Amino acid sequence: MSLCINPNCPKPDHPQNINNRYCQSCGSELLLEGRYRVTQLLSDKSGFGKIYIAEEQGNPKILKVLKEHLNNNAKAVELFQKEAKVLAQLKHPGIPQVDSYFQYQTKNGLMLHCIVMEKIEGLNLEEWLKQQGNHPISEQQAISWLKHITEILHLVHEKKYFHRDIKPANIMLKHDGQLVLIDFGTAREATYTYLAKLGAGNQITAVVSAGYTPPEQMNFQAVPQSDFFALGRTFVHLLTGQYPLKFYDAHNDVFRWRDAASISPILADFIDNLMAQKPGDRPENTQVILQRIKELTQKLGKRKSNLPVVGVAASLLLVLGVGIGFFVSKLGDNSVSPVVSSSPFISNSKSGDYPQLENFLKSENWQAADAETRNVMLKVANREKEGWLDVQSIDKFPCEELDKINQLWAKYSQRKFGFTVQESIWKSVGGSSKPTNEVYNRFGDRVGWRVNQSWLKYNDYNFTKNAPSGHLPVMFNDNKLPSNRLSVLAPKVAKCGIR
């Protein structure tokens, strides 16, 4: 297909356009700048611009076109051109690269402002979170992503710009795990002239994204530290699975979010510092944030290495689940840590057996077996560093190893536990690759993960043979929400032909 971008074209998708240089409906040029042929309209829902896919010699690109009614709006044109200018200066895999900015004239003389840039394959984090059933990310994932985004932001701020619109919808997650910060149309150059305007009390154009924008920015006083507030609110969304506005108590002017996130107090304190009401109370710059993330990682790593093997009353961080979307979760005081085996495989081969897991199962030490299952699955998938399996890891997980692990569970539980048992129950309650919350609830009720309409915490699981069928291995973390990984695991089990 070859699309005409003339907004006044009566038939922009004329079937004969594909083999022609000019639109067969309105006569406008189809090969933009002699290089780009438009193939698909991605979105025209924003009031600012239209987004297309274009190709240059078979390579897909993103084409952004300013809507024609904004051509006479000097501010809109300035913001559009600024995005091209900013992106052209920033060279980083976490920032889309601009091919060109140009003005395109239609056959009837209308001038359109255009930017062609790198096409980022993947979802933005708002879309991604919805795809995950709005299940919160883990603490470990949050720290990794915080570091990743701050490194991108560090480059932006070093170039004397600040973004002004950080939120999940403006962060893309590529298929290889790379995060990309997008939408630099609202970026502001932090020049001395600009800062002097602030000092003189002059207003600067406000950019507002409800729930993410700091108070000073809503009052036309954005500064570089405004990005840190938005970064903190972004991670509130990711760590709770809920929009930040839900946690704002307007009557008392307080923001209560911590109870909805299963994370350690030191990470929650760090995020609260990013969201301090006054810009001066937030970190001074991105370098400070990166240093604090490093210190935070060291503290959490030290705490994890000091976990007791058996019941010592303490406030602990544990990695829950069998590794199927399993996330780092916080247990409350007086928690008992599951035994996590440090025993290696017999060999480093992915086809190795799992003697430690078999020993735990044979002795009916179900909780230790649950933790060991997680360990071996992470090792097979080479995801030990991340601490959890993503959708792609589950899809690529070797069928032979999945079958071995399942057979051990099935054998020693007399087929009461295991992936195939869970898959069978999942199907019986209407489970699919795109399940509803109602399906999750039915499944949780059947396997005993949900009692009296409440999802259990890890310490409340029944690690005995008396547990309901399918109760083990554990499939979701301590955030009281089911993991959607079962919607990926069930088809995988079926595809592998595991019985």
Q: Per-residue pLDDT tens for 245-271?
A: 889 888 888 899 999 998 999 999 999
Token pair 């209560």: residue: 256
Distances from the Cα of 181 to the Cα of 59, 229, 250, angstroms: 21, 16, 30
Peptide bond into 224 cis (omega under 30): no
Q: Are 62 and 119 in contact (CB under 8 A)?
A: yes
Which of 175-179, 383-387, 462-466, 482-486 comes out lowest in average pLDDT?
Answer: 482-486
Q: What is the mean pLDDT of residues 439-461?
A: 81
Reported confidence tier of residue 191, pLDDT bands at 50, 70, 90 = very low
Q: Which residue has the higher pLDDT, 152 or 304?
A: 152
Q: What is the DSSP letter of 84?
A: H
Q: What percent of the chain has pLDDT over 90?
A: 29
Q: Which residue has the higher pLDDT, 44 or 225?
A: 225
Reported confidence tier of residue 317, pLDDT bands at 50, 70, 90 = very low
Q: Which residue has the higher pLDDT, 466 or 307?
A: 466
Q: Are 23 and 108 in contact (CB under 8 A)?
A: no
Residue 329 pLDDT > 60, yes or no? no
The confidence score (pLDDT) of residue 444 equals 83
The confidence score (pLDDT) of residue 81 equals 84
Q: Are 338 and 386 in contact (CB under 8 A)?
A: no
Q: Which residue has the higher pLDDT, 176 or 329?
A: 176
Q: What percent of the chain has pLDDT over 70?
A: 80
Domains and CATH numbers, the chain: 15-118 (3.30.200.20), 122-302 (1.10.510.10), 317-496 (no CATH)
C-alpha 250/C-alpha 211 separation (Å) is: 12
The confidence score (pLDDT) of residue 93 equals 85
The confidence score (pLDDT) of residue 303 equals 61
Residue 333 pLDDT > 90, yes or no? no
Q: What is the mean pLDDT of residues 306-322?
A: 35
Q: Could you give the angle at the alpha carbon of 421 between the alpha carbons of 437 and 340, nearest 5°? A: 90
Looking at the whole model, is its pTM more than 0.85?
no
C-alpha 37/C-alpha 435 separation (Å) is: 38
The confidence score (pLDDT) of residue 475 equals 56
Q: Per-residue pLDDT tens for 93-106?
A: 888 888 889 999 99
The confidence score (pLDDT) of residue 193 equals 33
Q: What is the mean pLDDT of residues 22-45?
A: 91
Q: What is the mean pLDDT of residues 404-417?
A: 91
Reported confidence tier of residue 328, pLDDT bands at 50, 70, 90 = very low
C-alpha 198/C-alpha 205 separation (Å) is: 11
C-alpha 448/C-alpha 209 separation (Å) is: 40
Residue 90 pLDDT > 90, yes or no? no
Residue 221 pLDDT > 60, yes or no? yes
The secondary structure element, H or E, covering residue 495 is helix 486-496
110: left (phi over 0), alpha (psi -120 to 50) or beta: beta
The confidence score (pLDDT) of residue 47 equals 60
User: Which among 425, 427, 429, 412 is positioned nearest to 470, based on CA atoms?
Assistant: 425
Distance between first and last Cα of the chain:
46
C-alpha 71/C-alpha 104 separation (Å) is: 12
- Computed over every residue of the chain, the mean pLDDT equals 78
C-alpha 69/C-alpha 87 separation (Å) is: 24
Q: What is the mean pLDDT of residues 131-157?
A: 89
Distances from the Cα of 60 to the Cα of 28, 35, 37, 97, 175, angstroms: 21, 12, 10, 13, 16
Residue 19 pLDDT > 90, yes or no? no
The confidence score (pLDDT) of residue 327 equals 30
Residue 280 pLDDT > 80, yes or no? yes
